[in-house]
């Protein structure tokens, strides 16, 4: 990739804040600078001042378009010729399909057969070619190996990729420009791409701002990893937060273990209740994974009371015919 200034740490290629700056310039023509919204009702309910960075309004409906565009538009023409490939439960898949479409190259995606239909439809709408797998990490990686061998496309990992993490770091850079004086930022965690980008940016430009990761209790391998001091990976957790089922990897663990203040968890009911609350009070469409931060804040009011908190709303791609409160 052109223009990298990444550091090699014990065999890991780790992005630096200079990579975030370069990524921001690279992706600006293809992304939105998303707004920050507030809610006096939610402020009163939590006792904190909340600032919601609305990546649900992003191109392709999710923050992941930032990392995808950075990876795709950083490829040389020779590398790009065979296209790109990935495995994803949804948002990275459609973000990479969007980015590939913007550059005019093929995109091959392995998706769980249980992924929301809205996300599958969006991938195909952007020109992505889907191969389905079972809803487990082992099946996802096995099927992807076949697709990669067949196509020869450049692998863009959903999160364990320095190009992707540098791209995701542009979100919190915008947030810090939009909202000065934050005390903490709370973002969802699955594989850890958004959290890693957040840690990278904040440790560089606002080291006093704490980073909290928010995770479903039903898929709490990041929380257990954080407490144990090493990666614990679950293969096929079941949670309404479909974007947060994947485990940490070595590169994201580097950031989580070094910079995250704590990993908080929320139950399925708490996640759905928080999602309904945001839909009802803020009048915005967001997916279950994006509700996990608010659910964790509500479950830990004492930790956030009286503080200025950035909350990253990671995406808004939902199947409107299968909302989690529909029975």
Residue 240 counted as domain residue:
yes
Q: Do 177 and 38 sit in the same domain of this protein?
A: yes
Q: How far is CA 87 from CA 40, 96, 115, in A?
A: 39, 10, 12
Residue 324 counted as domain residue:
no
**Contact, 265 vs 215, CB < 8 A?**
yes
CATH code of residue 143: 3.40.50.1100
Q: How many CB atoms within 10 Å of residue 103?
A: 16
Q: Do 90 and 31 sit in the same domain of this protein?
A: no
Domain count within the chain: 2
Q: Do 94 and 214 sit in the same domain of this protein?
A: no
Residue 321 counted as domain residue:
no
What SS3 state is found at 138?
helix
Q: Do 12 and 130 sit in the same domain of this protein?
A: no
Using the 3D structure, point to which of 110, 139, 155 is the last residue of a domain: 155
**Contact, 256 vs 192, CB < 8 A?**
yes
Residue 191 counted as domain residue:
yes
pLDDT tens track, the chain, 327 positions: 444 556 666 678 999 999 999 999 999 999 999 999 999 999 999 999 999 999 999 999 999 999 999 999 999 999 999 999 999 878 899 999 999 999 999 999 999 998 888 889 989 999 999 999 998 889 988 999 999 999 999 999 999 999 999 999 999 999 999 999 999 999 999 999 999 999 999 999 999 999 999 999 999 999 999 999 999 999 889 999 988 998 999 999 999 999 999 999 999 999 999 999 999 999 999 999 999 999 999 999 999 999 999 999 999 988 888 899 986
The pLDDT value given to residue 236: 83
State phi, psi for 188 to the nearest 5 degrees: -65, 155
Cα 63 versus chain centre, distance = 6
Residue-range definition of the domain harbouring residue 114: 65-155
The pLDDT value given to residue 7: 65
**Contact, 168 vs 211, CB < 8 A?**
no
The pLDDT value given to residue 2: 46
- Is the Cα dihedral 156, 140, 112, 238 positive or negative? negative
Q: Do 102 and 140 sit in the same domain of this protein?
A: yes
> Residue 202 has which token pair?
């904040």
The pLDDT value given to residue 3: 47
**Contact, 272 vs 290, CB < 8 A?**
no
The pLDDT value given to residue 4: 54
Residue 318 counted as domain residue:
no
Q: Do 82 and 215 sit in the same domain of this protein?
A: no
Q: Do 131 and 206 sit in the same domain of this protein?
A: no
Using the 3D structure, point to which of 114, 134, 155 is the last residue of a domain: 155
**Contact, 291 vs 311, CB < 8 A?**
no
- Per-residue buried b or exposed e for 208-218, using 16+ beta carbons within 10 Å of the residue's own CB: ebbbbbbbbbb
Using the 3D structure, point to which of 155, 171, 188 is the last residue of a domain: 155
The pLDDT value given to residue 1: 46
Q: Do 57 and 70 sit in the same domain of this protein?
A: no
The pLDDT value given to residue 163: 97
Q: Do 292 and 192 sit in the same domain of this protein?
A: yes
Q: Do 304 and 226 sit in the same domain of this protein?
A: yes
Q: Do 112 and 252 sit in the same domain of this protein?
A: no
Q: Do 281 and 147 sit in the same domain of this protein?
A: no
Residue 142 counted as domain residue:
yes
What SS3 state is found at 57?
helix
């Amino acid at each position: 990739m052109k223009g990298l200034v990444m550091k090699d740490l014990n065999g890991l290629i780790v992005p630096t804040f200079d990579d975030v700056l370069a990524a921001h310039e690279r992706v600006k023509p293809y992304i939105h600078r998303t707004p920050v919204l507030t809610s006096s009702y939610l402020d009163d309910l939590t006792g904190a001042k909340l600032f919601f960075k609305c990546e649900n309004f992003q191109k392709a409906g999710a923050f992941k378009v930032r990392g995808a565009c950075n990876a795709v538009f950083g490829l040389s023409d020779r590398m790009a010729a065979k296209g790109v490939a990935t495995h994803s439960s949804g948002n990275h898949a459609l973000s990479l399909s969007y980015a590939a479409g913007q550059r005019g190259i093929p995109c091959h995606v392995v998706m769980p057969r249980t992924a929301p239909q809205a996300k599958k439809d969006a991938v195909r709408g952007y020109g992505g070619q889907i191969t389905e797998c079972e809803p487990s990490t082992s099946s996802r990686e096995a099927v992807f190996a076949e697709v990669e061998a067949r196509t020869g496309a450049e692998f863009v990992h959903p999160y364990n990729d320095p190009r992707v993490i540098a791209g995701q770091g542009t979100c919190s850079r915008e947030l810090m420009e939009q909202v000065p004086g934050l005390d903490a930022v709370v973002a969802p965690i699955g594989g850890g791409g958004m959290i890693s980008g957040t840690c990278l940016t904040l440790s560089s430009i606002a080291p006093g701002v704490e980073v909290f990761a928010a995770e479903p209790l039903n898929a709490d391998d990041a929380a257990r990893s954080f407490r144990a001091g090493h990666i614990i990976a679950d293969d096929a957790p079941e949670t309404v937060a479909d974007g947060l089922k994947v485990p940490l990897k070595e590169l994201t663990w580097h950031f989580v273990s070094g910079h995250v203040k704590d990993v908080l968890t929320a139950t399925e009911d708490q996640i759905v209740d928080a999602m309904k609350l945001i839909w009802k009070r803020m009048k915005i469409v967001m997916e279950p994974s994006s509700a996990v931060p608010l659910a964790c804040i509500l479950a830990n009011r004492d930790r956030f009371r009286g503080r200025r908190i950035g909350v990253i709303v990671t995406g808004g791609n939902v199947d409107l015919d299968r909302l989690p409160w529909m029975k």
